Amino acid sequence: MMQNIILKKGNKQVNGTVNLTGSKSECNRALVIEALSGGKVKVENISDAADAVLLAGILRHNQESGIKNQQVLAGREPLTTHYSPLTTVDIGPAGTAMRFLTAYFAIQDNEVILTGSQRMKERPIGILVDALRELGAHIDYEEKEGFPPIKLKGSFEQQTSKISIKGNISSQYITALLLIAARLPFGLELHIEGELTSRPYVEMTLAMLKTANIQHTWQDNVITISNQEFATTELHVEPDWSAASYWYSIAALADKAEIFLTGLTPYSLQGDSVITEIMANFGITSQFKDGGVQLIKEAKPITRKAFDLKECPDLAQTIIVVCAALNHEATFTGLETLKIKETDRILALQTELAKMGVKLIENDEVYQLDCSEKFIPERMFINTYHDHRMAMAFAPLALISPELEFENGPVVDKSYPAFWTDLEKIGFEVKQIEA
């Protein structure tokens, strides 16, 4: 049976402290770097997000299998006696894991079939597969051309170091290639075609690689990483700024709010830390002190009318829902990648906002909120579309609507398993029911 969540908030005051999990984005990158480093790099503060836990388990299994393989070879015994290679990897709905593991397994020796959920089989992977094939990888599609599942055959032999990839589709394709670049015999010269979407995520990847002593150059649209060795080091995963954004949203919809988020600093690798600047427009001040950040709500008129979110698309649902709740008819750009996420997030937003009379109108990649017919229903049922961010972006509406019911409450486990528990700790009424 599916577990739904009933969410209520008796008043519009919020006060308390929240301990956030480690960043899923940072953790996933760190785990792949750790695996590629041959044990030289160690990851601290591994996220408890389901995606990160899954990726860590897959990489650990593959590394342990590799160790067994080496031991068998050293003893000159038949491989089949001691070693059964990892042949099928099901990553479920974990999109980042699909992209990163496609590149990771492309340069491993063992043959792997990489598959996922039904939605994952609808999310394109062709651009990354084409780039890896050009480099020398042997990859076949098992079902539909351009989409998972895929078979990675091992036996990588690099054919070129220069490849081009479109910059406006998904930064995860670029990151996947950059993560393996130092392990390529001839290195990588990556040419980014057109405008780069989600640039902060690429910068995060390069910064984390640099911490592990992997150097790069970035001139104009070309990123170059030579073949080089990882250093012995530790990668500390910061708390998740994407998760923090939901608490900023709650503060913005409250009449009075003082929320302390532990572990966050103003000097973050995460692009979503820009939420501090964005939410300042909604009267939320961010005071960094005592090993975290204090959010304080202040009365302030909202004047900003346009939001370009191409560098922080994971914040889009949060910001759009806040604007809708506050009757702020803003425009939004940079949302192109939202259609190929866990769900078509544009369509999902349009469908759920319509339940309170709000329209999100698209006009040539510019999205306009129309709140002219907005109303506050006594009860709202929120479909989550197997998308963790749909649930968490709409949860703050409990501050303006008497009762919300969320389909599939555990969907938040993908990035923030403690979300409902943290809401309860800070004064929300959370009830789990059988659907």
What is the SS3 assignment for 345-402?
A: HHHHHHHHHHHHCCEEEEECCEEEEECCCCCCCCEEEECCCCCHHHHHHHHHHHHCCC
Instruction: Report whether 261 contacts 18 (CB < 8 A).
Output: yes
pLDDT at residue 76 in the model: 30
Is the pLDDT assigned to residue 191 strictly greater than 60?
yes
Same domain for 346 and 222: no
Average pLDDT over residues 165-182: 93
Q: Where are the beta strands (DSSP E) in 144-228?
A: 150-152, 162-166, 188-193, 217-219, 222-225
Q: Is the pLDDT of residue 270 over 50?
A: yes
Looking at residue 120, what is its pLDDT?
Answer: 92
Q: What is the dihedral of CA 308, 312, 318, 320, to 10 degrees?
A: 20
Same domain, 69 and 46: yes
Backbone phi and psi for residue 41, each to the nearest 5 degrees, phi listed first: -100, 135
Q: Where are the alpha helices (DSSP H) in 263-315?
A: 275-280
Q: Are strands 222-225 and 188-193 parallel, antiparallel or unpaired?
A: antiparallel
Phi-psi region of 38 (alpha: psi -120 to 50; beta: other; left: phi over 0): left
What's the rounded mean pLDDT across residues 173-195?
96
Which of these three, 201, 236, 271, is where a domain ends? 236
Return the CATH number at 358. 3.65.10.10
Pair (298, 377) in one structural domain: yes
- Tell me, yes or no, whether 318 and 192 share the same domain: no
**202 and 267 belong to one structural domain:** no
272 shares its domain with 344: yes
The Cα angle at residue 50 between residues 284 and 421, in degrees rounded to 5:
50
Instruction: Work out the average pLDDT over 380-395.
Output: 96
Provide the mean pLDDT of the chain.
Answer: 91
Res 72 pLDDT > 50: no
Q: Looking at the predicted structure, is the pLDDT value of residue 256 above 50?
A: yes
Give the model's pLDDT for residue 361: 96
Higher pLDDT: 196 or 2? It is 196
Please identify, among 183, 217, 236, the residue that sits at the C-terminal boundary of a domain: 236
Q: CA-to-CA distance for 337 and 71, rounded, in angstroms?
A: 45
Amino acid of residue 257: A
Domain coverage including residue 70: 24-236
Average pLDDT over residues 211-231: 97
Phi, psi of 254 (to 5 degrees): -80, 155
Bridge partner residues of 44 (DSSP): 236
360-375 confidence digits (pLDDT tens): 999 999 999 999 999 9
213 lies in the same domain as 262: no
Check residues 7 and 39 and name the one with the higher pLDDT: 7
**Listed residues 196, 216, 236: the one ending a domain:** 236
The catalytic residues are: 314
Mean pLDDT, to the nearest integer, of 13-33?
Answer: 96
Lowest model confidence (mean pLDDT) among 49-53, 283-287, 291-295, 326-330: 49-53
Decide: 409 and 7 in contact? Cβ < 8 Å: no
Measured in degrees and rounded to the nearest 5, phi and psi for residue 325 equal -65, -30
- 78, 167: one domain: yes
- In sequence order, the β-bridge partners of residue 7 are 404, 430
List the single range of 8-17, 110-119, 335-344, 420-429 with lowest mean pLDDT: 335-344
- Percent of the chain as helix, strand, coil, to the nearest 5: 40, 25, 35
Q: Kindly state whether residues 205 and 246 are assigned to the same domain.
A: no
The pLDDT score that the predictor gives to residue 73 is: 31
Which band of pLDDT confidence, cut at 50, 70 and 90, is reported for residue 65? low
Number of domains into which the chain is organized = 2
**In the structure, what pLDDT confidence band is assigned to residue 86 with cuts at 50, 70 and 90?**
low
Residues 220 and 249 in one domain: no
Is residue 191 within 8 Å of 222, Cβ to Cβ? yes
Q: Is the pLDDT of residue 81 over 50?
A: no
pLDDT above 90 covers what percent of the chain?
83
Residue 267 shares a structural domain with residue 346:
yes
Residues 110-132: what's their mean pLDDT? 93
Task: Report the candidate in 316, 295, 318, 302 with the shortest Cα–Cα distance to residue 396.
Answer: 318
pLDDT of residue 342: 77
Residue type, 55: L
Single out the residue of 91, 74, 93 nearest to residue 83, CA to CA: 74
Residue 225 in this model has a pLDDT that exceeds 50: yes
* pLDDT grade for 116, boundaries at 50, 70 and 90: very high
Split at pLDDT 50, 70, 90, the class of 288 is very high
Within 8 A by CB and 6+ apart from 371, the residues are 324, 327, 328, 329, 357, 358
> In this predicted structure, what is the pLDDT of residue 74?
31
Are 28 and 36 in contact by the 8 Å Cβ rule? The answer is no
Let me know whether 193 and 216 are in one domain: yes
- The SS3 assignment for 340 reads helix
36: left (phi over 0), alpha (psi -120 to 50) or beta: alpha
Question: Does the pLDDT at position 36 exceed 90?
Answer: yes
